[in-house]
């Protein structure tokens, strides 16, 4: 059972310690924000929110982070958790008392706030997982080609509703994508649900044989602000992935997109609720987990 004051007696300043570390990292690079948010999502959807995503591969074990679906996770997300963990462990009382999974949950909230998104209380008390394998990622993460049925079934497998799915998708209001992830939409023929001007811009930014390391903004209007622009973009055919644009083309999710495009407060409330539910997915307690000394290595 998670609770917001879990560390009140164990490490009373954990929230400010993590926040300071994330802020410092943010001042070095904005990538901290999208990288950390996406890391949290990819952690929670595979074996639950247990920092299994942070484990490094060894000679004996190919870990989650080396699965093809995770190779595009930006290193700055991992680095944010490692730095925040070091800051927590620098306080004697807190040393090895706060899980990496909880540090990631807190850092995600802090990243959202640093980019202008809503603040919220983070439920805490997760343990770190005891396994991380590349094979366990198979079929657990949504693909950018997904339709609403596919999105709904994958989110509902994690206890999340269609409304939660639409709210969480707005995380694409910050951050970057590699051209390969949407190349099929701007090729021949161009996806008809794409705004024509936007399609031309994307073709220019992502010409054929573009450097595979090139990444472009997912929100063409406010790429560094965590806002409800995501939904306004969808209304104009400016969703980058099929999985984004279908939220507007499909009649089941379109009313939700329209509501949140015009009502930022309602979006923020839905987003907070969905993030809180995401943070409860597959939480480890008791013998199913522990508190890692090094977030990238099992104890
Ligand atoms: C709904 C289904 C989703 C699909 C199909 C999807 C897919 C993707 C893809 C393909 C990328 C680009 C990766 C790259 O090329 O580097 C991406 C980026 C991103 N995703 Fe998602 N995603 C989904 C949901 C989510 C959710 C629920 C969150 C968080 C709550 C999230 C957060 C992000 C962020 C922040 C980025 C930018 C990462 C960066 O700039 O480093 N996504 N997503
Ligand atoms: Ca996990
Ligand atoms: Ca934005």
Instruction: Note the pLDDT tens digit of each residue in 99-108.
Output: 999 999 999 9
d(CA 119, CA 113): 6
114-144 pLDDT, tens digit each: 999 999 999 999 999 999 999 999 999 999 9
Task: Write the DSSP string, 192-260.
Answer: TTS-HHHHHHHHHHS-TT--TT-EEESSSS-TTS-STHHHHHHHTT--SSHHHHHHHHSTTTHHHHHHH
Residue 153 is assigned to a structural domain of this protein: yes
* Residue among 49, 168, 175 whose CB has most ligand 1 atoms within 8 A, to mutate: 175
The CATH number that applies at residue 260 is 1.10.420.10
Residue 9 is assigned to a structural domain of this protein: no
Residue 113: what pLDDT? 98
57-67 pLDDT, tens digit each: 999 999 999 99
Protein residue closest via CA to atom 37 of ligand 1? 175
State phi, psi for 279 to the nearest 5 degrees.
-70, -10
Enclosing domain of residue 29: 14-141+279-290
Ligand 1 centroid to residue 97 C-alpha, Å: 30
What's the rounded mean pLDDT across residues 201-205? 97
Q: Which of 42, 67, 83, 85 is catalytic?
A: 42
Residue 221: what pLDDT? 98
d(CA 8, CA 98): 11
Residue 201: what pLDDT? 98
142-178 pLDDT, tens digit each: 999 999 999 999 999 999 999 999 999 999 999 999 9
Percent of the chain with pLDDT over 90: 100
Binding site, by residue number, is 43, 46, 48, 50, 52, 64, 142, 172-173, 219, 222, 227
Report residue 95's pLDDT band, with 50, 70 and 90 as the boundaries. very high
Q: Is 67 a catalytic residue?
A: no
- Whether residue 58 sits in one domain with residue 204: no
Residue 110: what pLDDT? 99
Residue 214: what pLDDT? 95
Q: Is 210 exposed, middle or buried (0-12, 13-18, 19+ CB in 10 A)?
A: middle
- Whether residue 233 sits in one domain with residue 214: yes
Query: Which ligand neighbours the alpha carbon of 143 most closely?
Result: 1
ipTM topping 0.90: yes
- Whether residue 254 sits in one domain with residue 171: yes
Ligand 1 centroid to residue 53 C-alpha, Å: 15
Which ligand 1 atom is nearest residue 145's CA? 5
229-250 pLDDT, tens digit each: 999 999 999 999 999 999 999 9
What total of structural domains would you count in the chain? 2
Cross-strand partners of 128? 290
Residue 8 is assigned to a structural domain of this protein: no
Residue 64 is assigned to a structural domain of this protein: yes
Residue 84: what pLDDT? 99
- Whether residue 24 sits in one domain with residue 120: yes
Mean pLDDT of the chain: 98
Residue 248 is assigned to a structural domain of this protein: yes
Could you tell me the pTM of the whole model?
0.98
Protein residue closest via CA to atom 2 of ligand 1? 142
């Amino acid at each position: 059972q998670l609770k917001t004051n879990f560390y009140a007696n164990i490490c009373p300043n954990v929230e400010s310690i993590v926040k300071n570390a994330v802020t410092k990292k943010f001042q070095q690079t904005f990538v901290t924000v999208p990288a950390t948010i996406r890391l949290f999502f990819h952690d929670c959807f595979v074996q639950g929110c247990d920092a299994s995503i942070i484990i490094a591969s060894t000679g004996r074990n190919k870990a989650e982070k080396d699965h093809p679906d995770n190779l595009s996770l930006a290193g700055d997300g991992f680095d944010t958790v490692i730095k925040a963990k070091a800051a927590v462990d620098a306080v004697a009382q807190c040393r090895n008392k706060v899980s990496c999974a909880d540090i990631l949950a807190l850092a995600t909230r802090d990243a959202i706030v640093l980019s202008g998104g809503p603040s919220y209380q983070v439920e805490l008390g997760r343990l770190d997982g005891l396994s991380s394998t590349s094979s366990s990622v198979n079929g657990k993460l949504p693909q950018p080609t997904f339709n609403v049925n596919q999105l709904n079934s994958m989110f509902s497998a994690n206890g999340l509703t269609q409304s939660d799915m639409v709210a969480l998708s707005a995380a694409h209001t910050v951050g970057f994508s590699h051209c390969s992830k949407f190349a099929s939409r701007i090729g021949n023929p161009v996806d008809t649900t794409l705004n024509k001007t936007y399609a031309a811009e994307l073709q220019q930014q992502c010409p054929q044989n573009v450097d595979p390391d090139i990444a472009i903004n997912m929100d063409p209007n406010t790429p560094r602000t965590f806002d409800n622009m995501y939904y306004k973009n969808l209304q104009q055919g400016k969703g980058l992935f099929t999985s984004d644009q279908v939220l507007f083309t499909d009649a089941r999710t379109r009313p939700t997109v329209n509501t949140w495009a015009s009502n930022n407060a309602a979006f923020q409330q839905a987003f907070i609720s969905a993030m809180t539910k995401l943070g409860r997915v597959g939480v480890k307690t008791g013998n199913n987990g522990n508190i890692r000394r090094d977030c990238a290595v099992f104890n």
